[in-house]
Structure 1
């Protein structure tokens, strides 16, 4: 029946074309199925309409006279760059290889590009609401494509009550994104942890934009408003061609579609594709979870300075939790932070003291990961000139380095090194020294989940575009692991998170649970978008959650040292700390505390107890909070409260920038839902309220693939107990949660 219907549909389309062509009537090109309908101008190939048939709603403003070009090329020839777009074509032709495919071709471009042909192929994905878009060029001999903008979807009209969800590392959500007039641009791979953006009204319909690149090619995604508050979505591609090539084909497809729901709906769609890709198959966590030192970590301590300021406090927390603790150790090195990289050795407290402290901590189940920036080299270091570092530095098109000043006190710059050079050998040697000679538990590779486009033709990579950065990062981590003489659970962790890095890193530092602390309360809100797609393929940890003012590196100029470094923050900011810990717990992250000291267990007793209890509860619920798949949490009525929020520089602020007080309306209860590998459902709950709260919700078992009858258990700090039984596919939960309490409600388990 399906084949018959398709044949009838194709015959109808063919007869329609013959009739309109014979009559001389102007017609549009239509590509449609039961879910979406795309309409193109038959004379130019411009996109006229993108219609969501399921919602009976149009994405584009059809009244607008502006029809943006679906694509734009930047071609270089003889040092000159020329921009070419759709209106410059002298000829346009379309064809239909089959009922689900439309091919658009432009040719006869004047000037320097008489042989150029641009071919766009758009394919429906069966009866789904998603379409694949592909572009190929021919006739480009002697011309280098510098950038290909494709696809470009112009005229996206306001859907009202809009939200824009973007996977900036952990994830960001913009409410009413058009009101600011902001031009939004994000780079992949890098700050974008995956290749999917969604713009939607959660009650009506949504615009879905993605890419199916599995090799980590560099690209940029953007949403730009015009004077009419219409958005233009586009993907900028940076191609790689060899001298003399006459053709170029994008090595992936863009995905454009419609959906109903919110950011989690879009994430679920992307996950359905993503988990079948190479990065999930080769995920370090999935392949090595059983023996992974990262996976068994219960709590991270992020301290800075000498061992008595780092390892001693970590051992204290190890004793309080009774669980494995890892340390993220900054400022252990000889050089000043954000200045003297990569002159890390010898440790600033001396070899003997450093090695002894590492050994003692190991004996007490505390592992230390030491800081090493992945690619920065200080331009004022002796080694920068002596070792000709400039030769291996990232260069722009003009041959300039990308030096940047991070250290506001010394004003000394750092310059990114290109991973596709001998820098890999230097870095691997330094990491090997820390692991093999000093027996650290691993390396924290700062700025790992970022990338640079380098145009230095003397390096071992294609210039500008391509996917060499992630490839060489993989080579670097392999070099470090091969040199590991101990072959014991050495951890390589990196800043940020990203699908391209899943095969190479053991853990990902995801700091956006503390976004208010370093960016304030304005702008985008943090959402666990990466977790919704990849939680069961990656170990995530980290936050800036701290109960004290920032520390100051002893190697920075003494004149700028504040008098109150690492002193307890005002009590009004304690709830912010609880909020950060509650978020991390329900989002399935390993908990982290920054700048912990033993005195806080007395001076901030309630807050440290909260952290310890969450860490202990999480460790009992690893099937959900480590190995589980992120699910949609049940709806609950959750009270809110306005709390004080501190925005403060983490460790480099001057006196006038130290602590800024803001206020934010926050929920008093944080929740999430997880499907364990065994098929049970766990609903994580954490309260930051100083009064007891009643947890009430109901679910339908069919929504979670659960048996229609069974039992409900709850686990809190007092242990696990039977809460109720359910039948007929309906589960109702009523549970009194203590003040600042946390629990896991389990459904469908014995």
Structure 2
């Protein structure tokens, strides 16, 4: 039995495909071992292997009741073949319906170290099931030299995740991610960095049903992985079985290997085929954007500086415009109109900017309503808000200055879709903007309000209604003008509906500090050719303060320069975005920075020009694993700042941490050429010296190597017989693309 001890054989039933082996207890169905053959490694702690494979939350008048496999009086299994096992639990004494039964089907892939997990809960007509947690993989041992990679928005990686989990206050030491939402793809990886192997977990849900993924640390320092699935409470069917499977397996490599594995599946899904960018539906002016300016306030503080940037750069500049609206930010939504500077001033400024080639999208949160606004009462908005299972609204206090709350509106209601569409219609057609930034776009919620007309609780109605909303909005857009929709975060499920995605983790230290996570271009590694990403908190001044907030909290020196010791942080954030394929962005730009932070602004402008000369790679290219280089590090001073001015005036704190001084990312173009983007933030030159085998990238055995910079393309050398040797000096703060072509 594939190397199992006799006692294990007696207690377990095994499925085995020569890549991995799963063993289940014959009396309970518990997963007791999970073996990787290549490394002869059991991922599970043999001392902690009796946990239930599933848990079910039942909604009862008295509250939620949770059952697991121990509630079943009977368990049996069927082994269909060497790769497939069916586990069945029935005869639940605590459930009146005698037909209530839970069936789990686990099947190994024929030629891969992966398994699929499917659950069915039958006999639920008289039982309201609010949540099905499956699979539950408990007792996951420390793999050693451990890294956790999760597609939280763009993507994050953590070293020694158990150490960080153990520091969480409270009884439960848990990380949890919602999909579709802040978890942009349905996968995660836990791996040994040195030995380059690990545990892979995902779902193959092509319809984007709402679910949660989690990792929990127990008292024995073992991890438990769970997927929480949400049925609809108003289902007429007598069975709940998700329309997707969970995938559990092992893999060789690191997070890039996982991205490649997931891309094989994700690129074949509907959202990839219907991607607006991939299908040429995004405006060409958006694709040609060389630089974004993210400013706040009236037009003279937003559009005028952008026009100055456009003149310096001599390439297209887009504006991402907050605080243009008549209401106070983060409490007065959706009373955006008229603009705070008045209609005529706003329209005149927009017309002037567009004549200079500067286009602007304006901020409008696509799901929040201020509970203390007049419109909240007058339009009976509460009736159309998201409700939880107990009928409570999802109300949150974002604004610490006014202490006024926002409440989440339900996209499943036609009322809210009509309300938001009318606002988009006005800002584009009456106020002449180039589109809308839909804040909190790539989120989803469970709503239990029976009057809204959508399935109650779980399902995929949120995304379906977002699709209807954007379709409805676009019907109002003029046909002869470039107009587009952008949204917060990234998500595979939103690829068919948004033109651009705001991705801010390139500057996550600025808002999260040193919290153990570091950004990785996980989403770009999978979906870069399907999505335009932009965004950066990268700023050279202290955060702004909304003039409509209470005067007593306003900073005495608004938009004061940040200490020059943080300048390299600015460069690092820009370098990351460049090599990871983003459209560059600067936050809080003002004309005085071109003189007082001349070197940093010069770096940004040069970076934008280099990127513009390499769009076949950095806009359209596929992410590839980069060749290894020995990169110098330096301890940098990092600012952690509030997104806005702080209530006490102390908005800036700092820490020091070691970071690379050279950033690079490798991209493959549609015509089978390679571009290696490189950005130095070092004060010293760096000797670039590495070798590539052309076969590793599917290149021709002979060709040439060029250097693309702000001035264009320069021949460096040629290569032959498949041996590519790159050898040149990257000067201090130089930005370029190494092009390997036929």
Task: Give the TM-score normalised by structure 2.
Answer: 0.96
Deviation (angstroms), 1:292: 3.4
Q: Work out the number of aligned pairs and report it.
A: 731
Separation in 2 of the partners of 1:559 and 1:656? 10
Separation in 2 of the partners of 1:274 and 1:516? 29
Separation in 1 of the partners of 2:54 and 2:604? 51
Deviation (angstroms), 1:728: 2.4
Partner in structure 2 of residue 735 of structure 1: 728
Consecutive unaligned residues in structure 2, runs of 5 or more:
167-172
Partner in structure 2 of residue 391 of structure 1: 383
Match of 2:272 among 272, 280, 283: 280
Match of 2:153 among 154, 169, 175: 169
Separation in 2 of the partners of 1:454 and 1:615? 43
Deviation (angstroms), 1:558: 1.0
Separation in 1 of the partners of 2:281 and 2:691? 34
Separation in 2 of the partners of 1:65 and 1:241? 34
Separation in 1 of the partners of 2:469 and 2:533? 21
**Partner deviation per Cα, 1:325-346 (whole Å, 9 max, x = no partner):** 1100111111011111111111
Separation in 2 of the partners of 1:560 and 1:384? 26
Contact kept, 8 Å, 1:241 with 1:248, in 2: the verdict is no
Separation in 1 of the partners of 2:543 and 2:274? 38
**Partner deviation per Cα, 1:361-410 (whole Å, 9 max, x = no partner):** 11111101011001111111110000001001111122111111111111
Q: Say if 1:291 and 1:411 are closer, same or farther in 2 by CA, change over 3 A.
A: closer
Match of 1:72 among 51, 55, 62: 55
Between stretches 592-601 and 486-495, larger displacement belongs to 486-495
Counterparts of 1:484-563 in structure 2, within 5 Å, are: 484-563=477-556
Separation in 1 of the partners of 2:376 and 2:105? 49
Separation in 1 of the partners of 2:144 and 2:554? 50
Q: Determine helix, strand or coil for the equivalent of 2:552.
A: helix
Deviation (angstroms), 1:226: 0.8
Partner in structure 2 of residue 318 of structure 1: 310
Match of 1:683 among 669, 676, 680: 676
Deviation (angstroms), 1:291: 4.0
Contact kept, 8 Å, 2:296 with 2:321, in 1: the verdict is yes
* 1:84 and 2:75 are equivalent in the alignment: no
Separation in 2 of the partners of 1:643 and 1:411? 36
**Partner deviation per Cα, 1:639-677 (whole Å, 9 max, x = no partner):** 111111111112141234311121121110001100111
Separation in 2 of the partners of 1:661 and 1:74? 44
Match of 1:196 among 187, 194, 216: 187
Match of 2:708 among 704, 715, 725: 715
Task: Give the TM-score normalised by structure 1.
Answer: 0.95
Counterparts of 1:61-210 in structure 2, within 5 Å, are: 61-62=45-46, 64-78=47-61, 80-113=63-96, 114-180=98-164, 181=166, 182-204=173-195, 205-210=197-202
**Partner deviation per Cα, 1:574-630 (whole Å, 9 max, x = no partner):** 111000000000000000001111111111111001000000000110110000001
Partner in structure 2 of residue 649 of structure 1: 642
* 1:304 and 2:296 are equivalent in the alignment: yes
Between stretches 97-106 and 696-705, larger displacement belongs to 97-106
Deviation (angstroms), 1:27: 4.9
Match of 1:354 among 322, 332, 346: 346
Partner in structure 1 of residue 608 of structure 2: 615
Deviation (angstroms), 1:78: 5.0
Q: Determine helix, strand or coil for the equivalent of 1:638.
A: coil
Q: Determine helix, strand or coil for the equivalent of 1:190.
A: coil
Contact kept, 8 Å, 2:131 with 2:228, in 1: the verdict is yes
Partner in structure 2 of residue 416 of structure 1: 408
Q: Determine helix, strand or coil for the equivalent of 1:183.
A: strand
Q: Determine helix, strand or coil for the equivalent of 1:255.
A: strand
Separation in 2 of the partners of 1:567 and 1:520? 21
Q: Determine helix, strand or coil for the equivalent of 1:179.
A: helix
Contact kept, 8 Å, 2:146 with 2:161, in 1: the verdict is yes
Deviation (angstroms), 1:65: 4.7
Q: Say if 1:54 and 1:289 are closer, same or farther in 2 by CA, change over 3 A.
A: farther
Contact kept, 8 Å, 1:77 with 1:142, in 2: the verdict is no
Contact kept, 8 Å, 2:555 with 2:645, in 1: the verdict is no
Separation in 2 of the partners of 1:293 and 1:239? 42
Deviation (angstroms), 1:489: 2.0
Contact kept, 8 Å, 1:203 with 1:261, in 2: the verdict is no
Match of 1:235 among 227, 242, 262: 227
Q: Determine helix, strand or coil for the equivalent of 1:695.
A: strand
Partner in structure 1 of residue 170 of structure 2: none
**Partner deviation per Cα, 1:261-302 (whole Å, 9 max, x = no partner):** 111111110011000000000001111257433222111000
Counterparts of 1:333-372 in structure 2, within 5 Å, are: 333-372=325-364
Deviation (angstroms), 1:79: 5.3
Counterparts of 1:48-63 in structure 2, within 5 Å, are: 48-62=32-46
Separation in 2 of the partners of 1:364 and 1:451? 38
Separation in 1 of the partners of 2:726 and 2:487? 39
Q: Determine helix, strand or coil for the equivalent of 2:279.
A: helix
Between stretches 596-605 and 287-296, larger displacement belongs to 287-296
Separation in 1 of the partners of 2:21 and 2:550? 64
Q: Which runs of 4+ in 1 moved over 6 A?
A: none
